[in-house]
Amino acid sequence: MFTLRLAALALLCAPALAAGPNLGQPLTHGDLAAWEIHVLPDGKGLPPGSGTMAQGAPIFAQKCAFCHGEAGKGGVSTALVGAPPIKSIDSPKTIANFWPYSTTVFDFIRRAMPWQAPRSLTDDEVYALTAYILALNKLIGEQDVMNAQTLPKVKMPNRDGFIPRFPDRMPQPPERDL
């Protein structure tokens, strides 16, 4: 049913172009490069570049430890190292005990960190910080290089710890004419 609706939308697109306001500006390849920062769990969207734990350690000390504590042990902001067992619904969620995808670590650092100066890190620096945090959590080796090929292959311990509520537990929206 869902697929049919999408197909109907695709078919309607051509005639709709003439009737609609058409006030968008066509984007060509490259226009959005500075904004295209979504990284998908299979690694789509990861940029060129690479980094290691050794390269990440001094960047972390300079730009991250102020909030996250020395070696990510926690400070005014959450700890980035450690995997306490999940014993109750309010247990702390950490990268090692909860995050299902390693790509999310890269994506979140690149889009949102450091808190005071987001989007100020180079892609190599983001890879290095990702490697540093994953290695501190022993999710990769201390010598491992993180790049667009290696990062998506990092297996996170809680990958299979989730029960999706969508779509099975969601009511489907009514059919509508497009």
Q: Residues interacting with other proteins, by CB under 8 A?
A: 2-3, 5-7, 9-10, 12-13, 16-17, 20-27, 31-32, 35-42, 44, 67, 76-77, 86-91, 93, 98-101, 103-104, 107-108, 111-112, 115-116, 118-119, 161-167, 170-174, 176, 178
CB nearer other proteins, residue 55 or residue 113: 113
CB of 29 to other proteins, least distance (A): 9
Q: Which amino acid is at 166?
A: F
CA angle 142, 145, 150 (to 5 degrees): 120
> Of the two residues 32 and 54, which places its CB atom closer to other proteins in the complex?
32
| Residue 55 vs 103, nearer CB to other proteins | 103
Q: How is 86-122 classified by DSSP, letter by letter?
A: --STTSPP-TTTT---THHHHHHHHHH-STTSTT-S-
Alpha carbon distance 74, 80 (integer Å): 7
Question: Is 49 or 152 the residue whose CB approaches other proteins more closely?
Answer: 152
| Nearest-approach distance from CB 142 to other proteins, in angstroms | 25
**Nearest approach, Cβ of residue 72 and other proteins (Å):** 16
Contact of 97 with 158, CB cutoff 8 Å: yes
Spell out the residues 6+ positions from residue 45 whose beta carbon is closer than 8 angstroms to its own. 36, 37, 38, 39, 107
